[in-house]
Amino acid sequence: MPPEVRRGFVIFAGLFTVVAVIWAARMDHIPPADFSLQNGTDPSTLDPHRATGQPESRIIFELFEGLLRMLPEGDPDPETGLQPLTPQPAMAERYEVSEDGKTYTFTLREGIRWTDGSPVTAHDFAWSWQRMLHPATACEYAYLITEVRLATEYNSSVVNIGDRVEVELWDRPGETPTSEANIQHFPRGTMKYGTLRAIVKPEGPESSADATEEEREQAQLDWEDRWIYEVDVTDPDAAGEREGETTLQRFAVSAEVAAGDESVERMHGVLVDFKHFGGAQAIDDRTFVVHLNNSVPYFLNLAAYYPLFPVNRECVKTHGSPLWTKAENIVSNGPYQLKFRRLRDRVRVEKNPYYWRADSVSFETIDFVSLESQNTAMNMYETGQLQWVYDLPASVLEELRDRDDFHSAPKLSIYFYKLNNDVPPLDDVRVRQALSMAIDRRQIVEQVTKAGEQPAYAVVPPGIAGYKGPEGLKENVEKAQALLAEAGFPGGRGFPKMSLMYNTSERHRPIAEVIQQQLQNNLNIKLELKNMEWGSFIETVQQGKYEIARYGWVGDYPDPNTFLDLWVTGNPQSNTNWSNPEYDRLISAASSELDPKRRMELLRQAETILATEIPIIPIFFYTSAEMAKTNIEGFAPSAQDLHPLSILRYRSDDPSTAPSKD
């Protein structure tokens, strides 16, 4: 390196260091928030229709609000310490349910507003539910509202001749006929509506005899892109002389087809017309009506769950996804609004002055601190930098139990391992059963986690009223060895080395190490442990690029269905590539069963299949173990691990543990 280049590099490095120090110093001296909590890893998104994990949901529950909100009702249970939470009026001041339980009419409050001051209307809910269901949004929770009329058809892109449909033209902002726009919006291009009259299909698809499966799939997609859809286009909002007028128009996805036939317009796709004929309709600014195919006993819980929260359509249209969730762009409607977001540090929210019950919100600011280290989180709690931590070091749990600020209670949640059922030999049920039966769960909960967890052999946690699940496959090393031999791997010989993935956390590695050793000792199977950052971990599992992966699930509502619906064929939350037609049939039958006892029996039969075929390995049912300062009013463990922060406050007679102000 020439001397002058070396000197330039030294000067640049020095300037960079000075700037970095100044920036760090400036950021380190921000005033503390009124309330700070441990939030685990960095949230991957703040979009209610794209989020899936707790690090995201804790923040989203404060930034946004749905028709209803889960809030405490009554006092905590004296035996379990659990605080009952029920869906209560929020954006909707009241609701009515039809006698058959299939129609819900929500009346929104007067004067409710977004953080930009614009009104929140029933049309925002209708638009947001449609966005949540749209295939391009790729919401993994879309299955929650499949009982909403036309929701399944819309989300799965199923159209049939005679359907009322929507057509999105190839004219998204910044898009040309031969390229796609860089920023995704919803709805994205010009929309046309009408009745599907015909689908003209060319010959094909064509692929060589030695083509790979991926090449055959691509050939199939290319062939389908060349289909021409003939639609009687009409204006659904037309009235008077224009009402009922139609013109036959032709559409195709293929740019080549559209360029070669002037009668064909290029489009992005054809879907059923959910906007005008689906089961989520805005009657006027304050009236939102939901029509269900079948009565859903937990539907009010769904209305209080964040994937069904509204997003501001003008914000989404203006900035696109994911830019609309940046602090300088985002518009929300919850108790808090986004102040700033610092990568690998914290998300700060501040009180929303437009919130309909802002007067009852105590904390002006809240910090969601990104902390994966249990020891660091505990140290920050003890020094007053955090007021609530939920992931405690197992080494100090025993001495913490006698403290007044320690909270422990059973949770409606499970810790388990996903198995990629497409990867040999995990595609063999005997191998999956052998792996599960070779694991000593009691050693894990008694020697590793130590928080009072219960070993799990099935999927649905205990404690759901009216439901008793199957026993599942208990530990049996001798039987596990016999099953492995029967599958062609006697004594583990010939069994391929497999990887066990887990996201970064001090809790997951020791559990994985114990299971790694148990499978080595009991089955002579070797596992390679892979630690991944949360965002990369989620993406890898969603893409199916894994063999065994750690996961957890907290019940979205107090019903077995929230744990069993996940494993229906095609559910985007599954990622296991497991499918069982009888399981699917039982879950479907339960969804339309009106007799509560019969419904629970159908769900139990389904769980028996799940607990026998083992597409996942249940490990344990969670018990909460968390610390919260004693001068906080309104904090109590809940079965669903929900803690509405907007209702918390410091006791006026004891401000000692509130964060000090500079």
Query: What is the SS3 assignment for 286-341?
Result: CEEEEEECCCCCCHHHHHCCHHHCCCCHHHHHHHCECHHHCCCCCCCCCCEEEEEE
pLDDT digits (tens, 9 = 90+) for 599-620: 999 999 999 999 999 999 999 9
Taking the CB of residue 199, how many other CB atoms lie within 10 A of it? 14
pLDDT of residue 28: 57
* Band of residue 266 on the pLDDT scale cut at 50, 70, 90: very high
- Cα maximum dimension of the chain: 85
Mean per-residue pLDDT, 640-659: 81
Kind of pairing, strands 264-272 and 247-252? Answer: parallel
Lookup: tokens for 31: 């005033």
For 137-254, strand residue ranges (E) read 164-169, 191-200, 228-234, 247-252
Range among 165-179, 483-497, 498-512 with highest mean pLDDT value: 483-497
Report whether 264 contacts 258 (CB < 8 A).
Answer: yes
| DSSP SS3 for 510 | helix
Residue 103 CB partners (closer than 8 Å, separation 6+): 97, 289, 290, 291, 292
Q: What band does 44 get if pLDDT is binned at 50, 70 and 90?
A: very high
Question: Distance between CA 40 and CA 391 in Å, rounded?
Answer: 8
Contact assessment for residue 67 and residue 97, using Cβ atoms and an 8 Å cutoff: no
Percent of the chain with pLDDT over 70: 94
380-423: pLDDT as tens digits = 999 999 999 999 998 999 999 999 999 999 999 999 999 999 99
* Rg (alpha carbons) of the chain, rounded to whole number: 27
Q: Which of 559, 562, 555, 558 is nearest to 600 (CA)?
A: 559
Give the confidence band of 14 by pLDDT, cuts at 50, 70, 90. very low
Q: How far apart are CA 65 and CA 357, in angstroms?
A: 12
* Mean pLDDT, the chain, whole residue set: 91
Among residues 554, 627, 620, 556, the alpha carbon closest in space to that of 408 is found at 627
Q: Tell me the average pLDDT across 341-362.
A: 97
Residues 52 and 556: their CA atoms lie apart, in Å, by: 11
0.85 surpassed by pTM:
yes
pLDDT the model gives residue 662: 42
Check whether 369 has a pLDDT greater than 60. Answer: yes
The string of DSSP letters for 430-445 reads HHHHHHHHT--HHHHI
> How many other C-beta atoms can be found within 10 angstroms of the C-beta atom of residue 484?
28
**φ, ψ for residue 438 (rounded to 5)?**
-90, 0
pLDDT of 4 above 70? no
**Distance from CA of residue 234 to its chain's centroid?**
37
Share of the chain above pLDDT 90, in %: 81
Of 172 and 428, the one with more pLDDT? 428
When mean pLDDT is compared across 73-77, 114-118, 480-484, the lowest value belongs to 73-77
Say how far residue 369 (Cα) sits from the centre of its chain: 20
Q: How confident is residue 19, by pLDDT bands cut at 50, 70 and 90?
A: very low
Cβ neighbours around 86 below 10 Å, total = 15
Measured in whole angstroms, how far is the alpha carbon of residue 544 from the centre of its chain? Answer: 17
> 210 CB contacts (<8 Å, ≥6 apart)?
none
Asked if pLDDT for residue 373 goes beyond 80, the answer is yes
For the segment 552-583, what is each residue's pLDDT rounded down to a tens digit? 999 989 999 999 999 999 998 999 999 999 99
pLDDT of residue 186: 83
**DSSP 8-state symbol, 325:** G
Q: Which amino acid is at 210?
A: D
pLDDT at 21: 40
At 72, which helix (H) or strand (E)? strand 68-72
CA atoms within 13 A on the CB side of 536: 8
User: Taking the alpha carbons of 450, 451, 454, 460 in that order, is the dihedral positive or negative?
Assistant: negative
Closest to 91 in 3D by CA, of 359, 304, 296:
304
User: Sign (positive/negative) of CA torsion 325, 330, 334, 336?
Assistant: positive
Contact between 459 and 416 (Cβ < 8 Å):
yes
Task: Tell me how far apart the alpha carbons of residues 533 and 585 are, in angstroms, rounded to a whole number.
Answer: 37
Instruction: State residue 655's pLDDT score.
Output: 52
Report, as an integer, the average pLDDT of 628-651. Answer: 94
d(CA 53, CA 552): 9
d(CA 140, CA 48): 11
* Most confident option among 5-19, 119-133, 393-407: 119-133
Q: Domains of the chain, with CATH numbers?
A: 34-63+317-404+627-650 (3.40.190.10), 68-314 (3.90.76.10), 407-623 (3.10.105.10)
